[in-house]
Structure 1
Amino acid sequence: MEKTINRTNTLYCLLLFIFFNGYSQSTIKKESLSHILSTIQAHYNVQFNYAEDTIENIFLFPPNKDLSLEEVLVYLDLETGLSFLKMSESIVLVKPKENLFFCGYLKDRDNLKLLEAATIQTNNTSTITDHNGFFQIEIKNLNELVTIRFLGYKTITKSFKEFSKLTCEDVFLTPNFQPLSEVVITNYIASGINKISNGSYEINFSDFEILPGLIDNDVLQSVQAFPGILSVNETVSNINIRGGTHDQNLILWDGIKMYQSGHFFGLISMYNPQITQHVSLRKNGSDVSLSDGVSGTILMETEKEINNHFKGALALNLTDASGFADIPVNEFSSLQIAARKSISDFVETPTYTAFFDRISQNTEVASNVSAITNTNETFDFYDTSLRWIYKISDKDDIQLNFINVHNQLMFTENATVDNVDESRESKLTQNSIAGALHYNRLWNDDFKTEFEVYETDYELKALNANILDSQRFLQENKVSETSVKLKAHYKINNYFELLNGYHFVETKVTNLDDVDVPLFRILVSEVLRTHGVFSQLGYKSESKKTALNIGLRYNYIGKFKKSIFEPRVTFNHQFLKYFSFEILGEYKHQNTSQVINFQNDFLGIEKRRWQLANNESIPIITSKQISTGVNYNHRGWLFDIDFYFKEVNGITSQSQGFQNQYEFIKTQGSYDVKGLDLLLRKKMNRFNTWLSYSLMDNRYSFEDLETNYFPSNYNIAHSINIGTTFKTNNLKLSAGLNWHTGKPTTVPVFNNEIVNNTINYGPTNASNLKDYMRLDVSAIYNFKLTNKVRAHLGASIWNVLDKQNEVNNFFRINEQEVLETKQYSLGITPNAVFRVYF
C-alpha cells in the first residue's frame, strides 16, 4: 500500500534532490536503473520486485548513499516516472504510475507443467499466456476482477488484491478432470516409458531417449521392449501379445482403428514417428470404451496442445526421407503435418537391400519358375499424416485427423513363349486412408463430453501375371469401417468419476479373386453393425495409493441378434511405501480376423486377408483374461512380475498360419495361455540396465483336428531381453540382446516321410526351430547448428553378430522327395539418420 508523505518531508527531499542532482552531474556518470536497484538492495537490505521490461532503457544518476530509504524512493519516483511502493519493511514493488499490472506464470497444480495459450481477462482487457506460461495484464484498481481460463482446468475468478502481487509469481490451475489413473512407475524400462495405475504402459516420445537397435521412434518396434510382447517372424505386422495373433491387437491412431501396420510389408511401422507423440499399451484391463483387440491394445496419439510457435524437422535415413511441421494458425489453433517417403527411387542403400531381400525370400518375387526371369524389382512407400486442433471457446475444442499410407511392390516377369520374348508386370499394393473428427465440450467443472467419428479404409491388391499360361490373376481385400462414439465423464467428487457412453461401428469387408484364363471370379462382400453401451466407475483414494476402475460394456450385433456382455476391472494398491499390487481382468470380443487361404496369396508377400465373422463357419472371437502382479521400486531398482491366464474362443485354423497337415483345413477352435512376465531394472548414474523374461504355455484346442491340446504356433515358451543405455548431455548409447526359444514346428516322420503321395507328419508342433538370438546397438548424438537450429545424428546396427535366425519353415514334396524350405530373419542391417529441428 502507498504511504502518505507530509509536505515538510516532501520539500526536504526535493531540496536534497536538487542539491544532489547538481552535484552528481559534475562528478558522477549515469547508470542503468537495474544496476542502481541492485546497489540499493544490498545497501538497505530490501528487495525490488518488477517486470524486466518496466525498467528497461532507464538511466539516471545514483542517489546519495546518505539518504534514508524513504528519501531514496522519492528520488527514484521523481526521476524515473515509476511508482515505488513499500509492500512491507523489506519489499518494494516497482510499476508504472499510470496503472497497475498483474503478471505471473500459469502452471498445472499437479505436474507444474507450464500452460500456454490460457486466457487472462479483466473487465476492460484480456491476454493469453506465452510459451513459457507468462502473462501480464493491466489492472485499473485493486478490486478489479481477474478471470483465468484454460480448457480442461477449473476457471479462477477473483479480485486482483486476492492474488499475491509482490512478484510475477506462479499461478496454479487445477484440472477439471484429474485422471484417476496416474503414473506408479516412471522410467519403467527407459526414460519416457512409464507404468500407469490402471495397468497400462505409456511411452512419451517427448521424454523418450533410446532403445537398442532403434534410432527413430518406431512405435511398433518400441512396444516389443515390454515383456510378453514379441514378433515370431520379426515384423511389426505380426506382433504377438501374450501368445495372440496380430489381428487380435486393437491398433488405434488418435482413436482411428487401423487395419495396416507397417511399411516394407511389416519391417518398419507405418506411423510417422515425428507426429506420433504418445503411446499407450494395454495387455489386459481395457477401458470399457474400447472394443476389439482380444489380445491387446496399442493406442497412439498426437500432441493435444495448441502450439503458438512454429516448429519443424527434416530427416534422412537409409530407407526414407521425412518432414514434420507444427504450424500455429492463430492463438486458438495449430496444425501438424508429417510426411515420409522411401528413397529407393534415388538410391538403393544396404538397409534397403536387406529389407527387400527379407520380405521377398521364398516368394515369386525372389525366385520364379526356371523358365521365367524377374527384372526391375522396385519397392516404394510413403505416408502422410495431419492433425488440426481448434479451440472454439474456453469450453469447446475440435480436432481433425487424417492419415494416408501407401506400399507398392512391382517387378517384371520375362520369358520366351513360342520363340517370342514376352514381358508382363506383376504388382502388389497396400493402402490405408482414414480421417476422424473429435469434438470435446467442458460443460462445467464436473461434466465433460467427448464425441468422435472416424472413417477408415484399407485395401490390399495384387496383380499376378503368368506369362507361360497367358493368365492374369487379380486379388483384392478391402475393409471399410465407420465408427461413432460418445463419452460422458462426470466427476462425482474428488474420489469418484463416472464414465458412460455409446459406440456404433459399421464394418464392411470385401474379398475378390478374379482369373481371366480360364474365366473365374468370386466376390464376397459382408457388412456388420454393432451397437455398444458402456459404463465405468473410477475410484482414487485420498492418499492416491489405491486406484480402482470397474465397468461393463454391452454389445449388440443386429445381424445375428446377439448380445455380448463384457465386464472390465483394474485395481492397483501401493503398500509398504515401495511396493504395489495390481489385479486386471477383462472380457472382450472382435468381429474381424485375418486368414490365409493359400500360401501364395498376394504373391506370397502378404498372405493374410481380413474377413468378417458370419456366426457360423467364422465365429465371433471372444476372450477372457485375468492377471495379477506385484512390483518393488526403490533407489533405482525395479522388480515387476505379472502372472496371467487368457482364454480365446472362436478362432479358425486358417487364422493361425498352419503350414503342415492342417494347412487347408477349415475348422474352429480355441487357445489358452498361462504365463508370467518379469522385469528387473537398475538405474545408476548415467546407466540404465534391464532384464525381462517371459514364460508361456500356449496351447490349441481344435476338436476336429486332434483330441488333445497341442502347442500353439505362437508358443514361445521362454523369452529374454537384456538391454542397457548410457546417456551424457549430448550422447546416447544403447545395446541389447534378444533371445527366445524357437517357433514350434511340425516335422515329417523320420525315414517314413511320404505316405500315399502326401507328407507323413509327426506330432503337431512337437518340435521347434533353432533358438533365436539377436544383438543390437544404437547411438544418437545431439548438437546445435545455430542458436535456433539443433540436430542429431544417429546410427544403429541390427543383428550385430549377423546370426542366421530361423523364423519359419515348411515342407513340400518334389519328385517323391520331401524338401524343407526355411525363412530367415534380417542379417546384419545398418541404419543411420540425420535430423534437423528448427
Structure 2
Amino acid sequence: MNERLLVLVFLVLSLHSINIVAQTETNQPLTIILETLQERFGVQFNYASKLVDDVNIVAPDTSLDLQKSIAYLNSNINLSFVFVSDKIISVKRKKLRICGHLKDKDTGDVLPYVALQKGSEGIIADDQGYFEIDGLKEDDIIHIRHIGYKPLKREVRYFNTSECITLYLVPYQEKLAEVTVYDYLVRGIDKLDDGTVELDFDRFSILPGLVEDDVLFSIQALPGIQSIDETVSNINIRGGSHDQNLITWDGIKMYQSGHFFGLISMYNPHITQKVQLRKNGSSAAMTDGVSGTIAMETDEYLNTGLKGGIGINLIDANGSLDAPLGKKASLQVAARKSISDFVETPTYSQYFDRISQDTEIEQNTTAVTNSDIAFDFYDASFRLLYQPTEKDRFRINFIHTANEVIFNEVAQISGAEQARESNLEQTTIAAGINYRRNWNEKLRTQIEIYNTDYALKAKNANILLDQRFLQENKVSETGIRLKALNVLTPRMNWTSGYHFVETKVTNLDDVDDPRFLRLEGEVLRVHAIFTELGLSSKNSATQLTAGIRFNYLDDFKKQIWEPRLNFSHSFWEHFDLEVLGEFKHQSTSQVINFQNDFLGIEKRRWQLSNNESIPVITSKQGSVGLGFNKMGWLVNAVSFYKNVDGITTQSQGFQDRYEFVRTLGSYDAFGLDLLLRRQLGKNSIWLSYSFLDSEYFFAQLPETRFPSNFDITHALSIGTNYNIGGLLIAAGLNWRTGKPVTRPVSDNPIADGEINYADANNDRLNDYLRLDISGKYEFNWRENKTVQLGMAIWNVLDQDNTINSFYRPNMLGEAQEFQQSSLGITPNVSVRVIF
C-alpha cells in the first residue's frame, strides 16, 4: 500500500514538473516579456508598437542576466535590441541579408548578369547567376529584371533569409531592347542596343542645377539635345524645332510640355518612372516626331505595399501615392501646385521675370499700367493597373495640367481710374486605356486608345480703345493602335499592327469692337499599318530590326511609305557599332502669326496640314555610331545626317525681314554627338560635345540657303557628381556658340522707315556660358520614412546670357535692338518625405 502511494505521489509530481516546463516553454507576447524585463532589471525599452504587435516567443530563462536575455532575444526574433545607454534599450527592425541563384524556368540554365534593384540602389548578379543583398527590411521590394524574361517583384519577407534560394525567371515572348551601357552619363541613365537612351528615375542620381528630377530638363544633359532659349517648351534635337518632337506619356500624345510656360516640365517625376529618348531609328509602330521621340512611362508593375511622398520647393508643393487595391490592382496618383498664391520666393521672381520679358505683362503703353499680376499652375495625374489573370493586363491613365496668368490693365479714362482684366490659360486634359494579353508563350496582342485635348486661350483687354481681343488654339486628338507580336524562333520575332489617328485643330480670333471673328478648323484622319522583323545572333551580340510603315492620309488621299532600320553589333568585347535610319512624317506643327499673339507669352499655336500652303512634314535621317566601354571608361561618338522637308517660315520663329513672309522650305542637318565619361565607383565625370551644321532651303526667298535659326554649331558640357554616404553633389559647366541672328546693315540700318537687314543669320549672339551646382542629402527618419533635402543654384556665376535679339525702328528713325536674357542666378531648395 505504501509502495503504491509512493508511486502515485511520484507520478503527480512528475506531471506537475512537466506542466511547469511546458508552461515555461509556451510562447508569450513580446510586449509582456519586455515589461517583465523592465521590472526585473530597471531598464526602459523604446520601440514602435507596430514592431512588436503579434510577435510571440518563449521567454528567456529567469536565470539569465540582462545581457544574456537581450542576446537571447536578438538571436531568436527578427528585431535588433541596441543599448542606447545603460538603462535604455532601442528596439528596431533587423537589417536582413538575402542571397540566391537565378535560373531559366524552362531550361534550368543559370542566368548571368541579371539586374536586381531595391529603391534607387541596384546590383548585377555574377556570371553564375548568384546575388546577395545586405541591409534590407522585411517590407523592402526587390525588382528583378532580365532581358527576354518577365520581370519579377518580390518583398524581402518572402525570401528565406537563413539560406540562399533559387529563383526561376519565366521567358518573355517580346524581344526587348537590351541595356548595352549602364550609367551612360550618371546612375539611372542607360543606353540600349537600339540606340535609345533611357532615364530610370527609380535609380536616378543627380544632375547639376536641378533640385528635383525634371523629366525634360534631364534629357538636355545628353549630346545633341539643346534648348535655344533654355526652356522645356523649346527642345531642339539635332537642329529641329520643338514641334518636331513626339512627346508621349504612357502612349498618349501630348501637345503641351511645360509649366511656367516652359521653365519646368509639366510631367510629375514622382509618377513618371522612365523616359526613353530616341533621336533616330524608331520602331515602325511609332508615328510623328520627325526630329525625335521623348516617351515617358509610369511604373508598369503592381505595387504590393503603400508608398508615396510629399514635398515642397521654392516653386511648388507636390505629393504622390501608390496604393495596392487588393492583389490584382494598384492605383498611383500625383499632384503639384505652385506656391505663388501663398509666398513669392526669389526663384519664383526670377522665373516670372524671365517669361514676362517683352510681353504685355512686362510693358504696356505709357498711359496704361499693369497691376494685380498673379500666376498659377498645377497638374494632377493617376494611373490604374489591373491584372485579372496572369495573361491579362489593363492600364488606365489620366492627366490634367493648367497654367494661368492674370493681370489688370489700369488707365485714367475721363478723369477716373478704370481697370480691365487680361488673362492667359493653357490646359491639357488627356486619358488613355491600354489592354495587353499574352495568349501563349509566342503570341501577345495589345490595344491602346487615347484622347488628348489641349487648349491655349488669351483674353487681351485694350482699356484705352475699350476693346477685347480673344484668341484660342485647341487641339483634340484620338488615337487607336492595335499591335501583335509573334515569336517565330528564339532569335526571330515579328511585330505588326494597325494605327488610326484623328486630329482636330481650331484657331479663333475674336475682336468685339470693331466686330471681327475668324474661326478656322481642320480635321485630319490617318490610317496606318506597320510591320517589323527583329533578328538576333545566337550570342545576342548582333541585333537587327527592320520595318516599314504605310500611312494613308484620308482627307488628302495621300500615301506615305516609311522604312525603319536599327542595327547594332558588339565586337572585340568592349566595342559596339550602331547603324540607325528612318523615314517619318507629321501633320501638325506650331507657327507664330504675330509675336504679340497670346499676350506674347506663349505665342506659338498648333496648326494642321492642309497639303497645300501647310504641307505634311517629312524627314529622312541616318546615323552611324561607335562606342567603347571598359573599366569605367566610356567613349561614344555618333555622326548623323537629317533632311526635313515641308517646314514653313512661320514655324521657325523669324523676327527679321522674313517675320511675316509665308513660304515653304526644308532644312538639312549633319553633325557629331560625342560623349566621354569616366566612372569611379559611384562617382563620375563626363564631357559631352555636339557639332551641328544646319541650313535652310527656301526656294521662294531671295536668299535660298542660309543657317537655321537652331544652328548651334558647337555645344560643350562638362560635369561631375560625387557621392559621400547619403550626400550627392553635382556640378556642371555648359558652353555653346550663340544663336544665329540677322543684323541691320551697319552703315544704313533704316530704309524707307523699315529695318534694312543684312544677309539672313549672318551673325551670332555672344557665346552662352552657365555654371550650375546641386546637392541632395537623404536620411532615414522614423520607421519606413526617408527625408530628402535638396539644394541647387542655376547659373552660379550670374552670367548675363543673351538668348534672343531682334530690331524694331524707333521714333527717332533708328534701328533699336531688343534683347532677351536667360535666367540669372537662380537658387532653389526642396524638402521631400518618402514613406
Q: Same fold (TM over 0.5)?
A: yes
1:266–1:755 CA distance, 2 compared to 1 (3 A) = same
**Partner of residue 393, structure 1:** 389
**Partner of residue 656, structure 1:** 652
Quote how far apart the aligned CAs of 1:536 are: 0.6
After TM superposition, the structure 1 = structure 2 runs for residues 446-595 of structure 1, keeping only pairs within 5 Å, are: 446-595=442-591
Asked if the contact 2:174/2:485 (under 8 Å) is kept, the reply is: no
**In structure 2, distance between residues paired with 1:290 and 1:428:** 33
1:602–1:469 CA distance, 2 compared to 1 (3 A) = same
**Partner of residue 370, structure 1:** 366
Deviations 1:458-504 (CA, angstroms, capped at 9, x unpaired): 00000000011111000000000000001101111210111111000
* Equivalent of 2:323 in 320, 327, 331: 327
Quote how far apart the aligned CAs of 1:619 are: 0.2
1:756–1:59 CA distance, 2 compared to 1 (3 A) = closer
1:433–1:530 CA distance, 2 compared to 1 (3 A) = same
The code of the aligned residue for 1:829 comes to: T
**Partner of residue 156, structure 2:** none
**Partner of residue 621, structure 1:** 617
**In structure 2, distance between residues paired with 1:818 and 1:513:** 31
* Equivalent of 1:309 in 305, 310, 328: 305
Quote how far apart the aligned CAs of 1:539 are: 1.4
**In structure 1, distance between residues paired with 2:100 and 2:385:** 24
Asked if the contact 2:175/2:493 (under 8 Å) is kept, the reply is: no
Deviations 1:726-754 (CA, angstroms, capped at 9, x unpaired): 01220000000010000000000012011
Quick check: 1:822 aligned with 2:819? yes
Quote how far apart the aligned CAs of 1:358 are: 0.2
Asked if the contact 1:238/1:245 (under 8 Å) is kept, the reply is: yes
SS at match of 2:185: coil
Quote how far apart the aligned CAs of 1:418 are: 2.0
Quote how far apart the aligned CAs of 1:59 are: 8.7
The code of the aligned residue for 2:736 comes to: H
Quote how far apart the aligned CAs of 1:171 are: 2.6
1:599–1:115 CA distance, 2 compared to 1 (3 A) = closer
SS at match of 1:751: coil
1:131–1:552 CA distance, 2 compared to 1 (3 A) = farther
Quick check: 1:837 aligned with 2:834? yes
**Partner of residue 250, structure 2:** 254
The code of the aligned residue for 1:585 comes to: G
**Partner of residue 765, structure 1:** 761
**In structure 1, distance between residues paired with 2:213 and 2:280:** 24
Asked if the contact 2:174/2:487 (under 8 Å) is kept, the reply is: no
**Partner of residue 48, structure 1:** none
Asked if the contact 2:149/2:169 (under 8 Å) is kept, the reply is: no
Quick check: 1:674 aligned with 2:670? yes
**In structure 2, distance between residues paired with 1:427 and 1:169:** 63
**In structure 1, distance between residues paired with 2:272 and 2:702:** 45
Deviations 1:387-427 (CA, angstroms, capped at 9, x unpaired): 00000111111100000000000110000122121100000
SS at match of 2:555: coil
**In structure 2, distance between residues paired with 1:514 and 1:542:** 65
Which segments of 5 or more consecutive residues in structure 1 lack a partner in the other structure?
A: 1-18, 33-54, 62-102, 117-129, 135-150, 156-163
Asked if the contact 2:468/2:511 (under 8 Å) is kept, the reply is: yes
1:344–1:176 CA distance, 2 compared to 1 (3 A) = same
**Partner of residue 184, structure 2:** 188
**Partner of residue 716, structure 2:** 720
**In structure 2, distance between residues paired with 1:310 and 1:708:** 61
**In structure 2, distance between residues paired with 1:535 and 1:298:** 22
Identity of matched residues, %: 52
Deviations 1:581-638 (CA, angstroms, capped at 9, x unpaired): 0100000000000000000000000110000000000000000000001010001100
SS at match of 1:559: helix
The code of the aligned residue for 2:764 comes to: N
**In structure 1, distance between residues paired with 2:342 and 2:824:** 24
Asked if the contact 2:626/2:638 (under 8 Å) is kept, the reply is: yes
SS at match of 1:747: coil
Quick check: 1:740 aligned with 2:736? yes
1:133–1:759 CA distance, 2 compared to 1 (3 A) = closer
The code of the aligned residue for 1:818 comes to: A
The code of the aligned residue for 2:601 comes to: I
Asked if the contact 1:180/1:538 (under 8 Å) is kept, the reply is: no
Quick check: 1:600 aligned with 2:596? yes
The code of the aligned residue for 2:274 comes to: H
Quote how far apart the aligned CAs of 1:717 are: 0.3
Quote how far apart the aligned CAs of 1:445 are: 0.6
**In structure 2, distance between residues paired with 1:448 and 1:178:** 8
Asked if the contact 2:543/2:567 (under 8 Å) is kept, the reply is: yes
**In structure 2, distance between residues paired with 1:436 and 1:456:** 8
Quote how far apart the aligned CAs of 1:657 are: 0.3
After TM superposition, the structure 1 = structure 2 runs for residues 361-440 of structure 1, keeping only pairs within 5 Å, are: 361-440=357-436
Q: Which runs of 4+ in 1 moved over 3 A?
A: 29-32, 55-61, 103-110, 112-116, 130-134, 151-155
**In structure 1, distance between residues paired with 2:118 and 2:439:** 21
* Equivalent of 1:787 in 783, 787, 790: 783
SS at match of 1:444: coil
**In structure 1, distance between residues paired with 2:353 and 2:141:** 52
SS at match of 1:484: strand
**In structure 1, distance between residues paired with 2:765 and 2:506:** 36
Which segments of 5 or more consecutive residues in structure 2 lack a partner in the other structure?
A: 1-13, 28-54, 62-97, 105-110, 120-137, 143-147, 153-159
The code of the aligned residue for 1:830 comes to: P
1:504–1:717 CA distance, 2 compared to 1 (3 A) = same
**In structure 2, distance between residues paired with 1:757 and 1:306:** 67
SS at match of 1:492: strand
1:837–1:108 CA distance, 2 compared to 1 (3 A) = farther
Quote how far apart the aligned CAs of 1:685 are: 3.3
TM value normalised by structure 1 = 0.83
**Partner of residue 97, structure 1:** none
Quick check: 1:700 aligned with 2:703? no
Deviations 1:349-401 (CA, angstroms, capped at 9, x unpaired): 00000000000011110011110010011100000010000001111111000
**Partner of residue 356, structure 1:** 352
1:686–1:485 CA distance, 2 compared to 1 (3 A) = closer
After TM superposition, the structure 1 = structure 2 runs for residues 79-118 of structure 1, keeping only pairs within 5 Å, are: 111=114, 113=116
Quick check: 1:179 aligned with 2:156? no
Asked if the contact 2:224/2:237 (under 8 Å) is kept, the reply is: yes
SS at match of 1:348: coil
SS at match of 1:739: strand
**In structure 2, distance between residues paired with 1:393 and 1:498:** 25
1:107–1:323 CA distance, 2 compared to 1 (3 A) = farther
**Partner of residue 75, structure 1:** none
Asked if the contact 1:108/1:115 (under 8 Å) is kept, the reply is: no
The code of the aligned residue for 1:489 comes to: L
**In structure 1, distance between residues paired with 2:257 and 2:176:** 31
1:274–1:133 CA distance, 2 compared to 1 (3 A) = closer
**Partner of residue 808, structure 2:** 812
**Partner of residue 211, structure 2:** 215
Asked if the contact 2:240/2:710 (under 8 Å) is kept, the reply is: yes
**In structure 1, distance between residues paired with 2:117 and 2:265:** 32
Deviations 1:654-689 (CA, angstroms, capped at 9, x unpaired): 000000000000000000001000000001234310
Quote how far apart the aligned CAs of 1:238 are: 0.2
Asked if the contact 1:107/1:115 (under 8 Å) is kept, the reply is: no
